[in-house]
């Protein structure tokens, strides 16, 4: 966590605030009940994790358990059912594709109600996931031992990251034959882009909400970028605390178009033959829709002050999961095969044959917009741009303490 925090720099006020907020929220953490304690012991999780894990025994027990239930914020997990069953026909996989909001809500409600259906919970929304669910003992971190050395610490502590993705900005290449129409993000707040910038509703999309929060947390960088763009200090609108918020206040005042879904947004920006297509904030992974849906989208890769806002999707084992060993096995599967290394040559299609066998749970996410938490996975075609693009992340504490205020801000400034 400390390395993670170190990278942020940024808004001193925000960090101070986050630090102040961290203690009361983390205080929610409760001592595990005797039942949970017994479950942890039997499942060899948390404090009862053995020195050396006996993987073969875990696989055997997983087969005996015969089932694994996944609550997932991402629908693509469902694509793994068949290939997983090809490896382990004894284990039935049930995937609940819930979206991030419902995954969090369902897990918390069920845990509070004493309903233990889920084995694996995989979702974004770090604020709640880390400060409420992990701290509250509703989920437990589990990293298969064989993978520990292959995953940098910030991607497995306090909670294992399943995949890192990002919010980026899309534009239509056909309407902009000379390349990216803007170079500084503040240009989007100009009258020229009135009603021509789009975003997925942050009130319903957890990932977009994190993207917005990331920008807000980096208020100082946003202020500096404004000065580079306009040549003067930014003047804040009444009631707006800093340049991070100010950016969205101005976007909303500039008739920002709000979409219900990311696929609709990238269709809007990327459909060829449009006279004045939208420019929009959406999930980077949707760049792959250029191939599947015939869009002509491109991503701004060199924006001042940043071009990608990274949000992690975590994976954890739910407290009192009925199939803890199957959950462990599935966690390893989601991270990809151990045979995979930097020099592995993978050939498309990635979701079939040998590539699928090696990538395993990474296969549905093997595109330029998604990055494995492992440091030893070869880049997907076009994946170089991930490292080229300057990116920011948001801290879980900032999400937790500032999230509700950001929501109120959005509500206030987005309503007409």
Partner 1 sequence: MSGDRVSGTGRIGAVLRFQAYRIANRPDMVIGVICLVALAFLVLGPLLEIIRDALSLQPYDLAYHPDGEVGSFSLFHLERVFVSPISKALFYRPLLNSLAIGVTVTAVAVSLGSLLAWLLVRTNVHFKGPLGTLIVVPYMMPSWVIALAWLALFKNDRIGGSEGLAAGLLGFQPPDWVSYGFFPIVVTLSLHYFAYAYLLMSGALATVDSELEEAGAISGMGRWQRLSRITLPLLLPALGSAVVLTFIRILGTFGVPALLGLPVRFFTFSTQIYNSINARNNGDAFVLALVLIVIAVSFIWINSRIIGVRKSFVTMTGKGFRRREINLGLWRVPLTILVWVFVLASVLLPLTILLWESLILLPGDYSLDNLTTYFWIGQGNTNLAYGEPGVLLNDGILNALGNSLKLGVSAALFNGFVGLLVGYAVVRGRGTRLSRWLESIAFAPYIFPSIALGAIYIGMFSTPLGPIPALYGTFAILVLITVVKNLPFTSRTGIAAMLQIDRSLEEAARVLGMGWFKRLVRIIMPLSASGLISGMLLTFITAMRELSLIVLLLSPSNMVVTGVIFYYQEQNMPQHSGAVALLLVLVIVLANVLVRLVAHLAGARSLASNAGA
Assess 53 for contact with partner 1 (CB under 8 A).
Answer: no
Write the CA distances from 119 to 138, 316, 400, integer angstroms.
11, 8, 25
Assess 67 for contact with partner 1 (CB under 8 A).
Answer: no
Of positions 271, 290, 301, 344, contacts partner 1 by CB under 8 A: 271
Stretch that binds partner 1, among 19-27, 150-158, 297-305, 316-324 (CB under 8 A): 19-27
Assess 24 for contact with partner 1 (CB under 8 A).
Answer: yes
Number of residues that bind partner 1 (CB under 8 A): 62
Joined tokens for residue 96: 């609940």
Assess 257 for contact with partner 1 (CB under 8 A).
Answer: yes
Stretch that binds partner 1, among 51-59, 60-68, 158-166, 406-414 (CB under 8 A): 406-414
Helix axes 396-414, 243-253, angle to 10 degrees: 30
Regarding beta strands 197-200 and 308-318, do their DSSP bridges make them parallel or antiparallel, or are they unpaired?
unpaired
Are 202 and 212 in contact, with CB atoms under 8 Å apart? yes
Are 248 and 216 in contact, with CB atoms under 8 Å apart? yes
Assess 277 for contact with partner 1 (CB under 8 A).
Answer: yes
Other Cβ atoms within 10 Å of 244 Cβ, number: 26
d(CA 240, CA 32): 42
Q: First-to-last CA distance in the chain?
A: 40
Assess 213 for contact with partner 1 (CB under 8 A).
Answer: no
Assess 412 for contact with partner 1 (CB under 8 A).
Answer: yes
Q: Which is nearer to partner 1, 72 or 331 (CB)?
A: 72
Q: Considering the complex, what minimum distance in angstroms separates the CB of residue 79 from partner 1?
A: 8
Of positions 204, 254, 337, 344, contacts partner 1 by CB under 8 A: 204
Assess 109 for contact with partner 1 (CB under 8 A).
Answer: yes
Chain centre to alpha carbon of residue 298: 21
Q: Which is nearer to partner 1, 193 or 226 (CB)?
A: 193
Of positions 149, 192, 302, 408, contacts partner 1 by CB under 8 A: 408
Write the CA distances from 61 to 28, 40, 41, 64, 328, integer angstroms.
33, 15, 15, 5, 10
In 3D, which of 313, 320, 312 has the Cα closest to residue 46? 320
Are 157 and 2 in contact, with CB atoms under 8 Å apart? no
Number of helices (H) and strands (E), helices first, in the chain? 16, 12
Assess 315 for contact with partner 1 (CB under 8 A).
Answer: no
Of positions 9, 47, 179, 239, contacts partner 1 by CB under 8 A: 239
Site string for partner 1, 129-148 (x = CB under 8 A): ---x----------------
**Residues near partner 1, by CB under 8 A:** 20-21, 24-25, 28, 75, 96-98, 101-102, 104-106, 108-110, 112-115, 128, 132, 195, 198, 201, 203-204, 239, 257-261, 263-264, 267-269, 271, 274-278, 292, 294, 351, 400-405, 407-408, 411-416
């Amino acid at each position: 966590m400390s390395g993670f925090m170190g990278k942020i720099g940024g808004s001193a006020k925000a960090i101070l605030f986050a630090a102040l907020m961290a203690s009361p929220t983390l205080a929610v953490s409760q001592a595990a009940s005797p039942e949970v304690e017994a479950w942890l012991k039997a499942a060899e999780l948390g404090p009862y994790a053995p020195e050396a894990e006996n993987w073969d025994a875990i696989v055997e027990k997983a087969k005996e358990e015969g089932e694994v239930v996944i609550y997932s914020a991402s629908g693509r997990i469902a694509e793994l059912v068949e290939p997983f069953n090809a490896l382990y026909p004894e284990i039935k996989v049930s995937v609940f594709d819930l979206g991030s909001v419902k995954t969090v809500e369902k897990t918390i409600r069920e845990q509070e109600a004493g309903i233990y259906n889920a084995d694996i919970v995989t979702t974004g929304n770090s604020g709640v996931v880390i400060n409420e669910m992990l701290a509250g003992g509703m989920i437990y971190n589990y990293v298969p031992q064989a993978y520990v050395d292959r995953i940098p610490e910030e991607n497995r502590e306090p909670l294992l990251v399943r995949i890192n993705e990002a919010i980026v900005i899309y534009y239509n290449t056909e309407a902009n034959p000379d390349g990216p129409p803007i170079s500084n993000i503040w240009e989007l707040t100009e009258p020229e882009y009135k009603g021509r910038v789009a975003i997925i509703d942050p009130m319903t999309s957890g990932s977009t909400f994190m993207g917005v929060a990331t920008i807000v947390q980096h208020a100082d960088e946003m202020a500096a970028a404004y000065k580079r763009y306009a040549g003067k200090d930014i003047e804040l609108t009444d009631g707006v605390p800093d340049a991070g918020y100010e950016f969205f206040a101005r976007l909303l005042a500039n008739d920002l178009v709000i979409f219900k879904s990311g696929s609709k947004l990238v269709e809007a920006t990327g459909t060829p033959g449009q006279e004045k297509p939208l420019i929009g904030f959406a999930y980077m992974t949707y760049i792959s829709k250029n191939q599947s849906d015939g869009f002509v989208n491109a991503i701004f890769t060199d924006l001042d002050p940043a071009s990608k806002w990274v949000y992690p999707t975590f994976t954890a084992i739910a407290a009192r999961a009925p199939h803890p060993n199957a959950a462990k096995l599935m966690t390893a599967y989601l991270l990809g095969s151990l045979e995979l290394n930097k020099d592995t040559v993978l050939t498309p299609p990635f979701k079939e044959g040998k590539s699928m066998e090696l990538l395993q749970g990474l296969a549905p996410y093997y595109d330029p917009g998604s990055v494995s938490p492992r440091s030893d996975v070869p880049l997907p075609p076009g994946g170089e741009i991930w490292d080229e693009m300057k990116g920011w992340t948001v801290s879980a504490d900032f999400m937790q303490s500032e999230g509700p205020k950001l929501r109120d801000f959005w509500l206030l400034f987005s309503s007409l």
